[in-house]
A and B are shown apart, each in its own frame.
Chain A
């Protein structure tokens, strides 16, 4: 069976592309390397012991990643290293570590949206012109206004709930739903923010407050990152892919790993090889959309090098794999006397955008944002309190656990990353996966800008915690010594100059007329800490419309 388009990856970008192409009448084949997940059985959260279960792993659902240069940890601000009140500080290495898996991702039908918290963020309007404004990083080759209609389209399809107005993000129409209520920790943080001139507002969330489109409303279990068993979270499998499947024009193969792309004589990508159920298949690609994410997309492009393209597919600029941008983050947690029920409600329910613009932080480029993150970071059950926040033992310890459970409050801060020549995704020269494809290697080094931002985020975070009444700070997790990227960007960036970018402003490869990239690898700039999923959706919807328009 032939299809009008082949899409590699079914995460945020692949799913949105599949949805829009099928909506506009095209047939698509989606090749997803990972497995399917069944929410009701794979992440039920309905039994004792739920806290010991993370987002489930299935065969093929986590890619093998190698880590190269993650940078050195030098002289530092005492507020920067990671530690907690129970474990203390780990032995100080010379370099950053990647505990808990490093690049946090899910390979599966729905991609990393399956385990995302579901923040639905537009980029700050001014983030599109970072380089022009501050001489740092790169500009987007399009404006907020160009992307706005596609943001709105995605918000409506998903059912995003958000406030009437959002700092730095002008709107032509309201969110489909009003914002979710703030939980106890978020309300305390919002009060503290007023005192420090750091106003918090309700976060925009891809989570339904009411039934819609066959999906129920959220019941505020607080476990978004463990997977949503009831379907209120707007992950790609529950939204874009459901609609694409209903069209009858989508074929989705799970556990289908693309091995290599084959260029044709006319400069297009003629075909690809993929492995499915133990056999290798070749499929022609009249139109090819690559949406495998900022690590796997460059990996495939580089691996598909051939005699006529020794630097890889779509790599006339030499930028494939380069400009890798990780997630710059700082989280501080403590217990607040008298606070209760902080484990209840919607994770990441409140956000402060006051410093999110490109010039939002003095002395650093790109900006940052602050979030109420107590559930997002895992303080929703007693195990986390016992392992991280509350030392001690015996009867007294058990009494304290009982008395203080539910009183944790976390300030999460996420900031911009400026691309650096040392940060990239490359191919391992020695190690391969079982299909013979070289493993990807991530190099990611913190620049002076990142360190300045991080110190600022930590300082503001601690002031917020103090204003909230935290006594004392019991945990700190920081990118300074931990590489734990949940968001990764930049490794096939878009731009107007083919010598310095991989795709044009629509996401189409400069080098191959039928190759489009619709994932976060096309981001020329990370933004000031925004979650990227909504921007990926918008870019993919726009790219799909351009594909159909020819």
Chain B
């Protein structure tokens, strides 16, 4: 049998990370066993940030993911997750990115980084590169699009209340 419900928490207005952690856990489902750690691999922060800035670059209306603080929050989520696979996936994924070229991933031209992400997006999700792309993207878009600065140009208020959306619509 499976159990849903569990540790009971005091409510506050803080972001509920359980949902995001749950999404990440669900996205890890079906992932092939990760290579043995061979000692704890660290998440290469600069590599992750470069990946994120390629994923969600700056444009005329909105900042890049890095400027929006997405990287540190992803690392914090991984550090706090019960499932150790998330942190290991981040570590293995950033290691894989840095191993593509003699230069670290962050030092590659933007066009090259974009091609790498395009390949990862279509890669086998049962393996590290494809799953890294899926999981990090899932986390990144949630963190990013929760920021007020990310939705500049959207037909939406920063928050639904207190104004709501009285008619007319469309």
Given contacts A44-B161, A393-B56, contact A58 B10 (CB under 8 A): yes
B170 touches which one: A42, A184, A383, A428 (CB < 8 A)? Answer: A184
Binary interface profile of A, 172-208, with partner B (CB < 8 Å = 1, else 0)?
A: 0000000001011001000000000000000000000
Given contacts A48-B147, A102-B4, A394-B114, contact A88 B125 (CB under 8 A): yes
Binary interface profile of B, 8-25, with partner A (CB < 8 Å = 1, else 0)?
A: 111101011011101100
The CA-CA distance from A183 to B165 in the complex, in Å, is 11
B156 proximity list for chain A (CB < 8 A):
343, 381-382, 405-406
Binary interface profile of B, 149-170, with partner A (CB < 8 Å = 1, else 0)?
A: 0110111101111111111011
CB contacts under 8 Å to A, within B29-82, are: 29-30, 54-57, 59, 61-62
CB distance from A216 to the nearest CB of B (A): 10
Chain B interface helix/strand/loop/mixed: loop
CB distance from B120 to the nearest CB of A (A): 9
How many A-B pairs fall under 8 Å by CB?
A: 190
A394 touches which one: B55, B138, B148 (CB < 8 A)? Answer: B55
A88 proximity list for chain B (CB < 8 A):
125
Asked if B159 and A47 make an inter-chain contact with CB atoms under 8 angstroms apart, the answer reads yes
CB contacts under 8 Å to B, within A49-91, are: 49-54, 56-68, 86-88, 90-91
Interface size of B as a range: 35 or more
A53 proximity list for chain B (CB < 8 A):
13, 15-16
Given contacts A49-B146, A59-B10, A184-B169, contact A68 B161 (CB under 8 A): no
Asked if B167 and A220 make an inter-chain contact with CB atoms under 8 angstroms apart, the answer reads yes
The CA-CA distance from A230 to B162 in the complex, in Å, is 9
Tell yes or no: B6 within 8 A of A by CB.
yes
A223 proximity list for chain B (CB < 8 A):
160-161
The CA-CA distance from A49 to B16 in the complex, in Å, is 10
- Report the nearest A residue to B61, measured CB to CB: A402
Chain A residues bordering chain B, tally (CB within 8 A): 77
A63 proximity list for chain B (CB < 8 A):
5
Tell yes or no: B134 within 8 A of A by CB.
yes
CB distance from A101 to the nearest CB of B (A): 5
CB contacts under 8 Å to A, within B122-146, are: 125, 134, 137-138, 141-142, 145-146
B29 proximity list for chain A (CB < 8 A):
90-91
A66 proximity list for chain B (CB < 8 A):
1-3
Given contacts A52-B15, A64-B3, A229-B161, contact A57 B155 (CB under 8 A): no
Tell yes or no: B106 within 8 A of A by CB.
no
B9 proximity list for chain A (CB < 8 A):
57-59
B155 proximity list for chain A (CB < 8 A):
340-341, 405-406
Asked if B160 and A221 make an inter-chain contact with CB atoms under 8 angstroms apart, the answer reads yes
A68 proximity list for chain B (CB < 8 A):
1
A90 proximity list for chain B (CB < 8 A):
26, 29-30
- Report the nearest A residue to B146, measured CB to CB: A49
CB contacts under 8 Å to B, within A485-503, are: none
B11 touches which one: A57, A394, A399 (CB < 8 A)? Answer: A57
A91 proximity list for chain B (CB < 8 A):
29-30
Tell yes or no: A438 within 8 A of B by CB.
no
Seed contacts A221-B160, A382-B150, A394-B114; 13 additional CB < 8 Å A-B pairs: A52-B20, A61-B11, A65-B5, A86-B137, A86-B138, A87-B138, A219-B165, A220-B165, A380-B160, A387-B138, A393-B55, A405-B155, A431-B3
26 A-B contacts (beta carbon < 8 Å): A44-B161, A47-B13, A48-B147, A48-B159, A49-B147, A57-B16, A61-B8, A66-B3, A67-B2, A68-B1, A91-B30, A99-B26, A101-B4, A102-B4, A184-B170, A219-B164, A219-B166, A220-B165, A221-B161, A221-B165, A343-B165, A382-B154, A383-B145, A387-B23, A402-B61, A405-B156
